[in-house]
C-alpha cells in the first residue's frame, strides 16, 4: 500500500484512474464538491472505490466541517453550521453547546456513512486568535483552549457514534496564521511559552485516531521548515510535547505554502515523519510522481491506519435519527437567540 490519499477528477472514475489506483493501492481517497452530484451517484462512486481494493474498510474522506467548509450541501444534503455557532452557545451554556456539537456531528456522520465515507477532516482545534487571517476565523470553536478541546471532543464522539472517524487539525495550531496557506507560507513568531495555548487543545485530545499537520513555520521550533516538512516539529512537538500517536496526515501538499514539485513535497513530508501524504486534486502526473518517490507503507503506519478505521461502518441509507438529531441541535442553538 502507498502511504498517500488521492483526489479524484470527477463524479465517476475514469478508466485511467481505475487502472492507476488498482496498481498504486493508495491508503485512501478524498472527495470534493466536484465528486458529489447527488446521493445515488456519490454512494455508487464510493462503492466503486471499495471494489477496486477489496478491503473491508477503506479510507474515503471529506472536509465536512459545516459553514463555509462543506463539500456536501443542500438540497441533497443537510446544512451544518460553522464552529462559531457552538462557540456562541458555549459562552452562555457550555453543557448545551457540547450536547449540540455532539448531536450535530452524529447527524453529519450518519449522512457521511450512508454516502460510503469513513473519515471526516473535522474538528479543527485551532484557536481563534484576534487579528489573525480569517482562513480559520469562524471555523474555530473559540479562543479558549479548554472550550475548543471540549467542543472538539464532542465532535469526535459524535462522529464516532455515527460510524465515522474524525481528524484533529491543524497540528500544532493554525490559529495564528497571517496568510492563507492555500496561497502563501505563514511564519508564526510567537515564542514557545505563548504557543502552549495553541498546543493545549491537541494535547487534551492526543488520543484521537487521526491528526493533520499545518503548513506553517514556527520560528520557536524550526525557523526553516513548515511543520509538515519539519522533523523537529513532528518528533518534538506533535509526537513529543502533544503526545499524539495516531495516524498523522499532511494537509494538502498542493497548497502554495509549500515549495518544490509535488513529488518533492511528498518525499520531504514523509521523511519528516508524516504517515500519509494528502494530495487532493486528482492530477495524474502528480499522483504518479508521488508513487515514484514514496516507499511502501510501513508496518507502524499500517497499524495506525487499521486502528483509525476499526470503528468505522457504512450505513445502507439515511434513517429518521438524523432528523431527530438535527432538531435537537437546532433547539439548543436557538438558546443564543441567533440563527445557527
Q: Give the orientation angle of helix 145-161 with respect to helix 192-204, to 10 degrees.
A: 30
Length of the chain in terms of residues written? 340
3-state SS class at 62: strand
User: Which uninterrupted H or E stretch holds 65?
Assistant: strand 64-66
Active-site pick, 251, 252, 275, 286: 251
Active-site pick, 16, 182, 207, 306: 182
**Cα(252)–Cα(4) distance, integer angstroms:** 11
Number of CB atoms found within 10 A of residue 269's CB: 30
Q: Cβ-count burial of 37 within 10 angstroms (0-12 exposed, 13-18 middle, 19+ buried)?
A: middle
Residue 8 neighbours by CB under 8 Å, 6+ apart: 17, 29, 31, 35, 45, 282
182 is catalytic: yes
**Cα(263)–Cα(286) distance, integer angstroms:** 7
Residue 286 neighbours by CB under 8 Å, 6+ apart: 254, 262, 263, 279
Yes or no: say if 21 and 51 are a contact pair by the CB < 8 Å rule: no
**Cα(307)–Cα(22) distance, integer angstroms:** 23
Which residues form the catalytic set?
182, 251
Amino acid at each position: 500500500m502507498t502511504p498517500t490519499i488521492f483526489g479524484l477528477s470527477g463524479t465517476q472514475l475514469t478508466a485511467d484512474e481505475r487502472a492507476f489506483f488498482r496498481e498504486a493501492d493508495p491508503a485512501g481517497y478524498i472527495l470534493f464538491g466536484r465528486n458529489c452530484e447527488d446521493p445515488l451517484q456519490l454512494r455508487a462512486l464510493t462503492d466503486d472505490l471499495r471494489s477496486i481494493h477489496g478491503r473491508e474498510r477503506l479510507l474515503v474522506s471529506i472536509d465536512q466541517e459545516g459553514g463555509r467548509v462543506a463539500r456536501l450541501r443542500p438540497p441533497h444534503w443537510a446544512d451544518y453550521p460553522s464552529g462559531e455557532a457552538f462557540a456562541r452557545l458555549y459562552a452562555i451554556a457550555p453543557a448545551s453547546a457540547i450536547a449540540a456539537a455532539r448531536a450535530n456531528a452524529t447527524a453529519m456522520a450518519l449522512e457521511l456513512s450512508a454516502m460510503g465515507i469513513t473519515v471526516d477532516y473535522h474538528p479543527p482545534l485551532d484557536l481563534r486568535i484576534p487579528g489573525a487571517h480569517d482562513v480559520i476565523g469562524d471555523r474555530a470553536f473559540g479562543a479558549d483552549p479548554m472550550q475548543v478541546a471540549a467542543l472538539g471532543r464532542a465532535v469526535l464522539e459524535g462522529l464516532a457514534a455515527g460510524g465515522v472517524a474524525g481528524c484533529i487539525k491543524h497540528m500544532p495550531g493554525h490559529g495564528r496564521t497571517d496568510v492563507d496557506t492555500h496561497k502563501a507560507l505563514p511564519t508564526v513568531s510567537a515564542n514557545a511559552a505563548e504557543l502552549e495555548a495553541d498546543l493545549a487543545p491537541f494535547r487534551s485530545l492526543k488520543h484521537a485516531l487521526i491528526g493533520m499537520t499545518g503548513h506553517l513555520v514556527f520560528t520557536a521550533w524550526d525557523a526553516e521548515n513548515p511543520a509538515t516538512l519539519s522533523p523537529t516539529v513532528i518528533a518534538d512537538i506533535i509526537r513529543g510535547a502533544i503526545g499524539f500517536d495516531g495516524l498523522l496526515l499532511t494537509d494538502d501538499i498542493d497548497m502554495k505554502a509549500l515549495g518544490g514539485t509535488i513529488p518533492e513535497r511528498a518525499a520531504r513530508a514523509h521523511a519528516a515523519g508524516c504517515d500519509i501524504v494528502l494530495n487532493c486534486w486528482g492530477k495524474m502526473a502528480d499522483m504518479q510522481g508521488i508513487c515514484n518517490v514514496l516507499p511502501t507503507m510501513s508496518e507502524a503506519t499500517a497499524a495506525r491506519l487499521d486502528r483509525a478505521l476499526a470503528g468505522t461502518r457504512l450505513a445502507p441509507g439515511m434513517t429518521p435519527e438524523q432528523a431527530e438529531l438535527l432538531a435537537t441541535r437546532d433547539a439548543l442553538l436557538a438558546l443564543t437567540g441567533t440563527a445557527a
